[in-house]
């Protein structure tokens, strides 16, 4: 079983008739999915998504894949294939198109409709190539066959990539719901046909590889939603992913049945459902929707609000409602339905929102106390089915954290894939498929690219560390005036502190220590401002650590006269 090594060097030149795969995101993490395929000097990119920041990345809005590997070869890209329209697969597309606007975007009708709507906000008009399941289309040396897969968003596709190096099957995100709401099944027949033809490398979704059995059908959610509506006395507020069209459809169907009006809250929710409705993926009965600005005019027992914020995002509608920072005020008797799964890492934020909603008297129904959501990702039983149907010569788990990748690799071993043909890679690791064998051959630089407001890539790990220190420990600023020739103290020190938790009067104890340290430096003939700052930082830092066991950011300001 191959796996990455921290000592990996740059990959060698690609052998003739070899296929290289370099994942730039989605391996070792949930999100930021992106993979680059290279054959004969040409590139095919599959997905281009974002990762949402952790609490220890303050101020960061989004995390992008690192485009450095392809930045010098943008005109070698034949196309960008988008398997489906979730943010972790399309969210970084606007940032890639800033670097080359005419990269053809290949995807299903809904996927392209949602990405076009997103790009319009960036004032971009993409080059679109619409495809359907069972269609084959060539992009340079890459012949792509698109295969229907079931997921938590309509119109998802897997893609089989044919080159002289062999057939690579990339499943995208998928599950095997046998009773999907839209009747669109994962095409197991196509998987079996490819298996008979010979899959040289299977790249398969690993998100639920640790979950035994099969994922529950979406249809089993409807009775639970109906029960929530039947027992709700006042308003119903539903939080869902803005892309979960199936779930929104179920909510609208329940609202119509129980005589309630529906209002959509949140820009992304309104935008996505507008596109889905226009393209026929969302069926909205006449008169059901009302403008969110008119919702207060309706009796509470007659309305349903569908909003974003199911993951505890601080600026989303539901979080703001929980914090009393939204025009819609949660009241006693309201029912809040969190109709989504919990993305790993968001537990604390979601629990905070649930507690906030309970505080104002709402009844909160969530996955922990009712079956109000099912996953969009295949569980272990379904993954075994795909492995047995496709019979891959080589296997590479994708889309998951390390534990998911390893669990999926173990499943592949159980179905007979030889250990030496199972490749566990991570972001930036180059995997070559040559002569029917997949091997790790090197690695390229591949870090996180942080988006902070309009800034892309300017925030570094050092800056994030500074932000964490400021947030956790505060800062202390010490201003002094020194003689530029002798380095002697002529004014100050003046000490200002914010967030350090230290009483301002307590700094009287460290001022003599600063003065003494600066006298010693001046006596040694040092007048360099950098040396003086270093002395102040060391003196104050030692005092704070010894006295308070804290490590605030210390900012010396030296004015030379």
pLDDT at residue number 305: 93
pLDDT at residue number 325: 84
Tell me: pLDDT of 17 over 60.
Answer: yes
Tell me: pLDDT of 5 over 70.
Answer: no
Sheet containing 236-239: give its strands across. Answer: 261-264, 303-307, 236-239, 335-338, 363-365
376 is in an annotated binding site: yes
Task: Give the Cα separation of 331 and 348 in Å (integer).
Answer: 23
Tell me: pLDDT of 4 over 80.
Answer: no
pLDDT, one tens digit per residue, over 235-270 is 999 988 888 899 999 999 999 999 999 999 988 899
Query: 3-class secondary structure for 13-46?
Result: CCCCCCEEEEEEECECECCCCEEEEEECCEEEEE
Q: For residue 397, how many C-alpha atoms fall within 13 Å in the half-sphere facing its CB?
A: 32
Closest C-alpha among 402, 388, 441, 395 to residue 420: 395
pLDDT at residue number 318: 86
pLDDT at residue number 452: 73
pLDDT at residue number 322: 86
Tell me: pLDDT of 454 over 60.
Answer: yes
pLDDT at residue number 528: 86
List, in order, residues 6 or more apart from 405 with CB less than 8 Å away.
27, 28, 206, 209, 397, 398, 424
Angle (CA) 185 187 193, round 5°: 165
Lowest mean pLDDT among 285-289, 328-332, 343-347: 343-347
At 46, list the tokens: 């599959």
Sheet containing 437-443: give its strands across. Answer: 127-130, 104-107, 77-81, 42-46, 34-39, 19-25, 429-434, 437-443
pLDDT at residue number 317: 80
Distances (CA, A) of 545 to 64, 478, 502, 533, 554: 37, 16, 12, 18, 12
pLDDT at residue number 455: 61
373 is in an annotated binding site: yes
pLDDT at residue number 314: 65
Q: How many helices (H) and strands (E) does the chain have?
A: 15, 25
Lowest mean pLDDT among 33-42, 181-190, 255-264, 441-450: 441-450
Tell me: pLDDT of 211 over 70.
Answer: yes
314 or 51: whose pLDDT is higher?
Answer: 51
Tell me: pLDDT of 191 over 70.
Answer: yes
Lowest mean pLDDT among 10-19, 42-51, 210-219, 334-343: 334-343
Mean pLDDT calculated for residue range 106-112:
97
Tokens 């109709």, residue?
A: 339
Are the C-beta atoms of residues 340 and 241 closer than 8 Å to each other?
yes
Are the C-beta atoms of residues 432 and 20 closer than 8 Å to each other?
yes
Mean pLDDT calculated for residue range 263-283:
92
pLDDT at residue number 451: 76
pLDDT at residue number 475: 85
Mean pLDDT calculated for residue range 67-96:
95
Residue percentage of the chain with pLDDT more than 70: 95
- Report H helices in 169-315: 188-197, 222-231, 245-257, 267-278
59 or 141: whose pLDDT is higher?
Answer: 141
List, in order, residues 6 or more apart from 89 with CB less than 8 Å away.
33, 47, 48, 49, 82, 83, 172, 173
Task: Give the Cα separation of 373 and 343 in Å (integer).
Answer: 12
Tell me: pLDDT of 296 over 90.
Answer: no
At 337, list the tokens: 């339905």
Task: Give the Cα separation of 197 and 505 in Å (integer).
Answer: 79
pLDDT at residue number 315: 67
Mean pLDDT calculated for residue range 497-519:
88
Tell me: pLDDT of 7 over 80.
Answer: no
pLDDT at residue number 341: 67
353 is in an annotated binding site: no
pLDDT, one tens digit per residue, over 354-396 is 898 999 999 998 877 777 778 889 999 999 999 999 999 999 9
**If you average pLDDT over every residue of the chain, what do you get?**
90
Task: Give the Cα separation of 412 and 168 in Å (integer).
Answer: 16
């Amino acid at each position: 079983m191959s796996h990455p090594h921290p000592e990996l060097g740059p990959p060698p030149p690609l052998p003739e008739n070899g296929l290289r795969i370099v994942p730039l995101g989605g391996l070792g993490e949930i999100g930021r999915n992106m993979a680059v395929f290279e054959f004969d000097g040409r590139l095919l990119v599959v997905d281009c998504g974002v990762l949402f920041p952790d609490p220890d990345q303050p101020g960061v809005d989004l995390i992008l894949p690192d485009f450095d590997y392809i930045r010098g070869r943008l005109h070698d890209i034949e196309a960008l294939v988008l398997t489906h329209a979730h943010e972790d697969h399309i969210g970084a597309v606007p940032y890639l198109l800033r670097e080359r606007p005419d990269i053809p975007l290949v995807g299903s009708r809904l996927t392209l409709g949602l990405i076009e709507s997103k790009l319009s906000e960036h004032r971009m008009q993409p080059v679109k190539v619409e495809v359907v399941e069972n269609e084959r289309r060539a992009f340079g040396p890459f012949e792509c066959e698109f295969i229907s897969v079931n997921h938590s968003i309509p119109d998802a596709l897997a893609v089989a990539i044919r080159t002289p190096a062999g057939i690579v099957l990339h499943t995208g995100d998928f599950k095997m719901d046998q009773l999907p709401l839209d009747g669109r099944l994962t095409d197991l027949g196509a998987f079996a046909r490819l298996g008979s033809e010979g899959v040289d490398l299977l790249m398969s979704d690993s998100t639920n590889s640790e979950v035994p059995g099969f994922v529950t059908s979406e249809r089993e959610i409807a009775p639970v939603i109906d029960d929530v509506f039947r027992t709700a006395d006042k308003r119903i507020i539903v939080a869902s992913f803005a892309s979960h069209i199936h779930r929104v459809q179920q909510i609208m169907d329940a609202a119509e049945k129980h005589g309630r009006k529906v209002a959509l809250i949140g820009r992304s929710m309104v935008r996505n459902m507008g596109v889905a409705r226009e393209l026929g993926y969302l069926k909205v009965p006449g008169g059901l929707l009302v403008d969110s600005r008119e919702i207060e005019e309706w009796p509470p027992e007659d309305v349903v609000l569908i909003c974003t914020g199911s993951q505890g995002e601080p600026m989303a509608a539901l979080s703001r409602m929980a914090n009393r920072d939204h025009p819609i005020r949660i009241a006693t008797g309201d029912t809040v339905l969190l109709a989504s799964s919990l993305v790993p890492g968001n537990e604390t934020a979601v629990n905070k929102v649930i507690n906030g909603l309970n505080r104002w008297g709402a009844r909160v129904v969530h996955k922990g106390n009712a079956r109000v959501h099912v996953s969009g990702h295949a569980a272990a039983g379904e993954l075994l089915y795909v492995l047995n149907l496709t019979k891959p010569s080589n296997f590479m788990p994708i889309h998951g954290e390390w534990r998911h990748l390893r669990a999926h690799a173990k499943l592949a071993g159980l179905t007979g894939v030889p250990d030496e043909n199972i490749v566990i890679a991570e972001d930036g690791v180059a995997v070559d498929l040559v002569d029917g064998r997949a091997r790790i051959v090197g690695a390229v630089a591949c870090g996180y690219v942080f988006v902070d407001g309009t800034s892309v890539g300017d925030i570094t790990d050092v800056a994030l560390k500074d932000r964490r220190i400021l947030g956790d420990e505060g800062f202390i600023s010490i201003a002094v005036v020194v003689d530029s020739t002798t380095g002697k103290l002529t004014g100050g020190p003046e000490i200002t502190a914010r967030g350090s938790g230290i009483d301002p009067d307590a700094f009287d104890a460290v001022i003599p220590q600063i003065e003494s340290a600066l006298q010693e430096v001046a006596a040694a003939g040092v007048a360099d401002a950098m040396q003086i700052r270093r002395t102040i930082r060391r003196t104050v830092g030692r005092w704070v650590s010894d006295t308070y066991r804290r490590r605030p950011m210390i900012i010396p300001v030296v004015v030379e006269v």
